[in-house]
Chains A and B, each alone.
Chain A
Amino acid sequence: GNSVTQMEGPVTLSEEAFLTINCTYTATGYPSLFWYVQYPGEGLQLLLKATKADDKGSNKGFEATYRKETTSFHLEKGSVQVSDSAVYFCALSDILTGGGNKLTFGTGTQLKVEL
């Protein structure tokens, strides 16, 4: 079955540091890939997505490129802020034969950004 593997956290960075959170996946076919973010006490919010190989998703300074050859979708940001402190989830999407699509998530990586 499909699976997503993320680097373990917590990741602690100083403000303005460079961020990379690794994500690799195993899937049949060509899934869409996503990063979701969960701020403390809140739900899951879509951060960015890529629907085919070599697509780059980007939002709020974060970006990730769909790499089919390495089955990866690493999240990067050039300069993190304290407000980026959250849990980040990598996920892939399968279309369901009965309708809709199903997300398979990684375990999540907690990011703490300090002044």
Chain B
Amino acid sequence: EPEVTQTPSHQVTQMGQEVILRCVPISNHLYFYWYRQILGQKVEFLVSFYNNEISEKSEIFDDQFSVERPDGSNFTLKIRSTKLEDSAMYFCASTRGVVDYGYTFGSGTRLTVV
């Protein structure tokens, strides 16, 4: 069964450093997403990406965050200057189309900011 692949599975970074979280969505999917889950809290929507641009972002997704699809397969989330409160599990997901409600999530990257 096709998978969404995320790397790394765990990243530790110092406050103020830039991090890039990487995802390889399912190849025939057109819509890509990032969600995050702070420990013990809800899974929260960050951003959706379609046709090489952001289609919607949440209020969490401020100027410190950016997303990119640098080639035909990768989808990245960059945090420019990490803060302690960015520590969370970050999930990438993709869907084939608007009416395809079957989100496929990756297994997540646990980001720890120290």
List A residues at the B interface (Cβ < 8 Å). Answer: 32, 34, 36, 41-46, 49, 51, 89, 91, 93, 95-108
Contacts and interface: CB of A to CB of B under 8 A. Distances in A.
B105 A43 contact: yes
A101 B97 CA distance: 9
B13 to A, nearest CB: 21
A86 to B, nearest CB: 14
A96 B48 contact: yes
A43 B107 contact: yes
B31 A107 contact: no
Contacts of A99: 31, 48, 50-51, 55, 98
Contacts of A32: 101
Contacts of B33: 100, 102
Interface of B: 4, 6, 31, 33, 35, 41-45, 48, 50-51, 54-56, 91, 93, 95, 98, 101-108
A45 B51 CA distance: 25
A43 B50 CA distance: 22
Contacts of A91: 43
Nearest to B6: A43
B50 A98 contact: yes
A105 B41 CA distance: 10
A95 B31 CA distance: 12
Contacts of A89: 43
B105 A44 contact: yes
